Amino acid sequence: QQLREQQLREQQLREQQERRQKEQQHLLQNQQRKQEQQQERQQQPPPREQQREQDQLQGQRRHSDQQQSSTTSSREALPNVVLPSLLENPMVSSVASYYEGRKAVCSGIPNDDIEGTLSDYADAVLQASHTQSQRVLPPAHSVAMCMEQADRDSILNWLILTCEIMRFHESVLFSSVLTLDRYSARIGSPLPMESIQRVLMAVMCTVLKTCAVQDQVCGSMPLRELLAHLFRQQARVKEIFVTERK
């Protein structure tokens, strides 16, 4: 029965991939048609009225360029002055924007008010964590030693379908794959499929607890019930916690 379910999931994934490929081909064809139409329009000689309008636009652009050059020269003459128009708003992550929203609302609850102060540090911590994670990425050959390619493909298909059905945040999928690869590279020896399934359960448990959007992922369902629902009672929650600790 598990094999049948897995085959059905693989078939659904293939159908989705075929649909996406057809949509991409359709989009490419439309883009090519638009480009051909634009080229044909450009090759046609413009009428007199359009030519006059183009001449007027070019004159306005030249005038604006002259004004900009004069303003830039005046700005260069004042190197110590910082103009507000030149300042750009930096990109802010979703985590930082969430904490920024908590800062704007003072609830009087200490734990909630403390979260509002984390908006100034969230992006710096995320950047440092990402840099450190990139330094210790697991090599591909070490991951390949732990499991067969077919087993890895089936695991990835299961993760993709599970995250799509449960509507998990994309960070759950990426973190689960990365954590599983790190564990595989550290073991450095082949594992049977039963052990890989147990490790996958522990990996999902860790990711669901440490994910930045845990409240959005788990919702009102407790973690134990969520794990039991995901793995269909294939292992006890206590056994998953023991594997996670290892």
Is residue 26 situated within a structural domain? no
Is residue 186 situated within a structural domain? yes
> Could you read off the pLDDT tens digit of each residue along the chain, which spans 246 residues?
777 777 787 888 888 778 887 887 877 887 788 877 777 766 655 555 566 666 667 766 665 665 555 545 444 443 443 333 333 445 777 777 777 777 777 667 777 677 777 878 888 888 888 888 888 888 888 888 888 888 888 889 988 988 888 888 888 888 899 888 888 888 877 878 778 888 888 888 888 887 655 555 555 577 777 777 777 767 777 777 888 887
Is residue 56 situated within a structural domain? no
Is residue 111 situated within a structural domain? no
Q: Report the predicted TM-score, pTM, of the whole model to 2 decimal places.
A: 0.50
Q: Domain of 169: which CATH number? A: 1.10.472
Give the structural domain span for 146: 140-245
Is residue 200 situated within a structural domain? yes
DSSP SS3 for 190: coil
d(CA 142, CA 181): 9
Q: What is the dihedral of CA 155, 156, 158, 160, to 10 degrees?
A: 160
Number of structural domains in the chain: 1
Is residue 232 situated within a structural domain? yes
Is residue 216 situated within a structural domain? yes
Is residue 8 situated within a structural domain? no
d(CA 138, CA 179): 10
